[in-house]
Structure 1
């Protein structure tokens, strides 16, 4: 009998040793953007914050992404450990089988659920202090660098057309990576860039060349059909007033395959770590609960649990 008891104790002990790590550690894959971009760096910061904020219980592996559309498409083959970033508008298109998702619809798209917002893609229209440009109308006859193939380039061209400048602006044939040097050398009068704010290339241009970042009027913001965003005064060198511009919201998503407890812990740890992240990377300072209104579509039940505990209001559609 004593031998049988020892065998039972040994079996229980073995079970605890085998199962304990599974209980203590949750592994998540976070997919955002290409390595070297600000959004990839944000993923690294989130991974570090999750590990620190959960006492090592949440381990996030950052994967290089090939774009927001691809991030959404991968939902079809991923499990409950998948977190990805994309604009809410793309989720809506995927669920409706529209635009780039036409003919590629999948039932798994309907299971996409939001966790929390991250810094928005923010439009910057940057002009040199010596260009004489104080408004969009002043861009007529000037040389502006839009870049090629990026969201900022497409959006910048759209805005110039919306504001009556189609064919009236000289578009520089150069990559956005050359913008600051070209501005300092007087080869261009300005450039357009989109990214989290403060944008590194705008910081560099403001510090080394002297620039003005144009504001949009409320009517111009309405014409773009994008979210209004205010960059506070003092964000860039020489910026004495708030900048009114537009943004494309970006959100961290998962699917209903993720269990509620994991979604809760991810969301809770993100918000509780945000201020600490902002101390080392200023773009996190632009993320607050006001951005929750940009989440079009449903939020994961585990995340909803956190938002209710924190007293953060959600819409009926988000529930």
Structure 2
């Protein structure tokens, strides 16, 4: 075949390719440990992006060792890099504070938010027959808070803030065994943090009558965390709202992502969220109200979607 004929054949073959193949956008989504609920959420987002964009957005999920790693990689990852982290960590990175001291990088200033995902929500779970109706009633009880996790650290902090550190017995049981330990009376309650409805709280509610403690406004203020309301009916036997605290979590990218890609990711997320919520109820706790928890800038492409959708943003976020 002569060279000219080969070129004509190649051009004709390219013309026959589906338009979506040329328009396909690839995104890397850095999430969390593969054993965590946040990794499951990442997989759900990847599936939703593919379905909602008719295959034009392909998301590859990467496992992570934590939010700090995710933020650090924002300084070196090119292109369409999306990662999850609490907004507070982005602020620390941009200010070179705490765990980012001595690790300053001008590219941290290029981090931009896209959309919120389920928050880490504190649950103080007790047996319904334990007689515990408030934090003061935990005195003399055996509580499981676990070790090393955000929930364990927050649980210990709250016990200290509310004057209970030396007044409760901390159980030496793995948090994964909280449900059975509660059922057999080995513990009176446990502390866990996760997107609601939390699977381990659902399990405990199914196996044992439980209650989840509410915090007062004064207690929430003392924790310096974000107020969160778990609606009545979220857990078996829960007849009223639960007021607790949370750590907001957001999907971020950088200014290396073009505006159109950021727009399409944000639009597809919100359009597919209800469908995701039918399969995994933790998505039902996500609403545009959570955008208020974003303390930094939102990507211009995402801002375009929110303005089209009539969702108000703080001027400082634009």
**Short-chain TM bin:** over 0.9
- 1:31 CA displacement: 1.2
TM-score computed with the length of structure 1 as normaliser: 0.95
1:229 maps to 2:228: yes
Contact 2:220 2:244 in 1 (8 A): yes
The residue number in structure 1 matching 2:60 is: 61
- 1:281 CA displacement: 0.6
Q: Write the distance in 2 (CA, Å) between the matches of 1:125 and 1:134.
A: 11
- 1:231 CA displacement: 0.4
Q: Write the distance in 1 (CA, Å) between the matches of 2:162 and 2:3.
A: 84
The residue number in structure 1 matching 2:308 is: 309
Query: Which range moves more in the overlay, 144-153 or 16-25?
Result: 16-25
Contact 2:215 2:243 in 1 (8 A): yes
The residue number in structure 2 matching 1:32 is: 31
Query: Which range moves more in the overlay, 250-259 or 77-86?
Result: 77-86
Q: Compared with structure 1, are the counterparts of its residues 260 and 173 closer, same or farther at alpha carbon in structure 2 (3 Å cutoff)?
A: same
Contact 2:21 2:56 in 1 (8 A): no
The residue number in structure 1 matching 2:119 is: 120
- 1:76 CA displacement: 2.0
Aligned to 1:93, the other structure's residue is in SS state helix
Contact 2:33 2:39 in 1 (8 A): yes
Contact 2:20 2:56 in 1 (8 A): no
Q: Write the distance in 2 (CA, Å) between the matches of 1:311 and 1:196.
A: 27
Q: Write the distance in 2 (CA, Å) between the matches of 1:5 and 1:195.
A: 62
Contact 2:52 2:268 in 1 (8 A): yes
- 1:15 CA displacement: 6.2
- 1:36 CA displacement: 2.1
The residue number in structure 1 matching 2:245 is: 246
TM-score computed with the length of structure 2 as normaliser: 0.95
Q: Write the distance in 2 (CA, Å) between the matches of 1:16 and 1:255.
A: 34
Q: Write the distance in 1 (CA, Å) between the matches of 2:103 and 2:67.
A: 15
1:205 maps to 2:182: no
Q: Write the distance in 1 (CA, Å) between the matches of 2:188 and 2:285.
A: 28
- 1:153 CA displacement: 0.4
Q: Write the distance in 2 (CA, Å) between the matches of 1:32 and 1:318.
A: 23
Contact 2:232 2:240 in 1 (8 A): yes
The residue number in structure 2 matching 1:46 is: 45
The residue number in structure 2 matching 1:157 is: 156
1:129 maps to 2:128: yes
Q: Write the distance in 1 (CA, Å) between the matches of 2:95 and 2:17.
A: 44
> Which string of whole-angstrom CA distances, capped at 9 and with x for unpartnered residues, describes residues 134-190 of structure 1?
100000111100000000000011111111212111111222111111111111110
- 1:23 CA displacement: 3.2
Q: Which runs of 4+ in 1 moved over 3 A?
A: 3-23
The residue number in structure 1 matching 2:299 is: 300
Q: Write the distance in 2 (CA, Å) between the matches of 1:173 and 1:109.
A: 40
Pairwise CA RMSD of aligned residues? 1.9
Q: Unaligned regions of 5+ residues in structure 1, if any? A: none
Query: Which range moves more in the overlay, 272-281 or 23-32?
Result: 23-32
Q: Write the distance in 2 (CA, Å) between the matches of 1:198 and 1:8.
A: 58
Q: How does 1:284-295 map to 2 (within 5 A)?
A: 284-295=283-294
Q: Write the distance in 1 (CA, Å) between the matches of 2:19 and 2:115.
A: 29
Q: Compared with structure 1, are the counterparts of its residues 5 and 65 closer, same or farther at alpha carbon in structure 2 (3 Å cutoff)?
A: closer
Q: Write the distance in 2 (CA, Å) between the matches of 1:6 and 1:19.
A: 23
> Which string of whole-angstrom CA distances, capped at 9 and with x for unpartnered residues, describes residues 165-221 of structure 1?
121111112221111111111111100000000000000001101110000111111
Aligned to 1:77, the other structure's residue is in SS state coil
Aligned to 2:274, the other structure's residue is in SS state helix
